[in-house]
Amino acid sequence: MSAGDEYIFYIPSELGYGQNPRPGGVIKPGDDLIFRVELQDVIKPPEPIPSNLEAWEQYTPWTPDAEGVETTESGLQYVVLRKGEEGGETPGPRDQVSVFYEGRLVDGTVFDSAYRRGVPSTFGVNQVIAGWTEGLQLMSVGDQFMFYIPSEIAYGDSPRPGGMIKPGDDLVFQVEITEMERAPEPRPTDTEAWETFTPWNSDLPEVQKTGSGLEYIVLASGDESGQSPQGGEYVAVFYEGRLDATGDIFDSAFQRGEPALFPANRVIPGWVEALQLMKPGDRWLVHVPGSLAYGPRGNGPIPPNAALNFEVELVEVLPTQ
């Protein structure tokens, strides 16, 4: 086909889904299929961008005492291949970067390459292997480095199953930061309230209780004429969650500096109830018993049946589209 063509295809079962169609769909095992297809446009993939081949030749195999090689306390080794413009920004752990890179095993085998795909990859500095997180914070926008990353700060003994990287493999990367976006500044929680009401005491006069067992303290009130969220309306919320038993923080939109957006009825039962009592601008401390939180199954760092405490600020109820 070419752009603008319209065809009808008859596809025998053997060239379609055969005996294994998607479960629960209308296509049954052995069904032949008919498609009407109009090709609107052909989108060419980006052209590959060459990595610095001269640098690969110079530093393969990797030699720790080669000229220009620096070593950090963690064991990360790096070489500066090119510096960007003077005064270029250096990313912090919460920032987003766009990066061209190529990763190789120590024998020179390429296992991944944004250069070959022709498009930089974008991710959070703290969302990658430890060696990358450390190395990116040594760079500025426009810099190109070579990294030698020992297994202990790469994938260790648990690489992705089925990939080319084996347990214990050290890795070599060529990395170039093309762009950087600063993370929002963290928003302060009400530290005085946390200090005053931790540990949680249900007998304090400030504590209000509902019939379900939910408890809360009003820290600040918003617009009394505002509308509380109902049903599946989306809300924008700053929050911080802590384990009642230890005070450990397990999640915090305040620390991320951005409110979380979600439907008001798609959260734990204690949250659903609390949000329906709040109005935009309200800030509460909320005590959620385990039965209104994650119950016996727990969730990640939250143990089974754990009671939780939250600081919740309802920023906005978003209008239904």
Question: What six digits make up the tokens of 146?
Answer: 């070579």
DSSP 204: S
Q: Which residues, including other chains, have CB under 8 Å from residue 102's CB and lie 6 or more apart?
A: 51, 110, 112, 113, 114, 115, 116, 173, 174
The SS3 call for residue 121 is strand
Bridge-based pairing state of the strands 215-220 and 208-209: antiparallel
Cα–Cα distance, 263 to 231 (Å, whole number): 8
Question: What six digits make up the tokens of 243?
Answer: 């384990």
The SS3 call for residue 262 is strand
Catalytic residues: 101, 111-112, 129, 155, 173
Q: Which residues, including other chains, have CB under 8 Å from residue 272's CB and lie 6 or more apart?
A: 264, 265
DSSP 277: H
> Exposed e or buried b for every residue in 52-78, given b needs 16+ CB within 10 A?
beebbeebeebeeeeeebeeeeebbbb
Cα angle value 154/156/161 (rounded, 5°): 100
Dihedral in degrees, nearest 10, Cα atoms 255, 261, 262, 268: 20
Greatest Cα pair distance in the chain: 75
